[in-house]
Structure 1
Amino acid sequence: MTSTSTAENTGEAAVLAEVTDALRSVLDDVELDDAPITMDTRFVEDLDLESIDLVTLTSELRQRYGDQVDFPAWFASLELSEIIGLTVGQLVHYIAGRPR
């Protein structure tokens, strides 16, 4: 029997892999192997994402997850300081928490 936390962690691991793959597509000119992407990786401070990169990432993830994940509404609900400090883990939790 699988516990809920294990199932959630498995789901989050799959989402983390998808987000990492999407980031590699968006940031194809940046070497990501030097600093592996983890749940604690910050989009702005660690990956130097600019607003246009976030828009591109949102588009890439929308292609992968469709309408089930409303990224524009989620981003709009965040304060500027929250967006600046946004981590990969926060995005992963948001995606993993959406109904399939």
Structure 2
Amino acid sequence: MTTERCEAVAPTRLVTTVLDEVTVMLQEVLGEYEFADAEITMSTRFHDDLELESIDLVTLSTALREHYGDTVNLAAFIADRGLEEIIELTVGDLVHHVVASLPAAPAAEAV
């Protein structure tokens, strides 16, 4: 496999893996609500689709830190956003933030 192919595949695999992991975390957060079985995709919106409240974001933030460590900081991710931007956040926005926050893996391990 060429280096270019490795670089193209690794981020896609990583995004898929992080989406799966974030979905599990969200389902745990939503466990007490009627949205526990909701389909979660990259375009799922936290506010409009899942109806997450601020306390739910705190719970999600804790789960993210426990799973990924201190490099993934949800509070810092949303701190510079206005209210409308926060309301429009999608699962995909969070997934891309997580992927960007993770330490880069050596190319040999990524594929």
| Greater relative contact order structure (CA < 8 Å, 6+ sep) | 1
Q: Unmatched 5+ residue regions in structure 1?
A: none
Q: Unmatched 5+ residue regions in structure 2?
A: 104-111
Please report the RMSD computed on the Cα atoms of aligned residues, expressed in angstroms. Answer: 1.3
Larger CA Rg, structure 1 vs 2:
2
Any residues of structure 2 matched to 1:88-99 within 5 Å, and which?
A: 88-99=91-102
Structure 1 runs of 4+ off > 3 angstroms? none
* Deviation readout 1:49-77 (Å, 9 max, x if unpaired): 01111111111111101111122111102
Match of 1:8 in 2: 11
8 Å Cα contact 2:28/2:36 also seen in 1? no
* Deviation readout 1:22-64 (Å, 9 max, x if unpaired): 001111123443x310000000000010111111111111110
Match of 1:58 in 2: 61
User: Is residue 20 of structure 1 aligned with residue 16 of structure 2?
Assistant: no
TM-score with structure 1 length normalisation?
0.90
SS in 1 for 2:31: coil
Match of 1:41 among 37, 41, 44: 44
* Identity score, percent: 48
TM-score with structure 2 length normalisation?
0.82
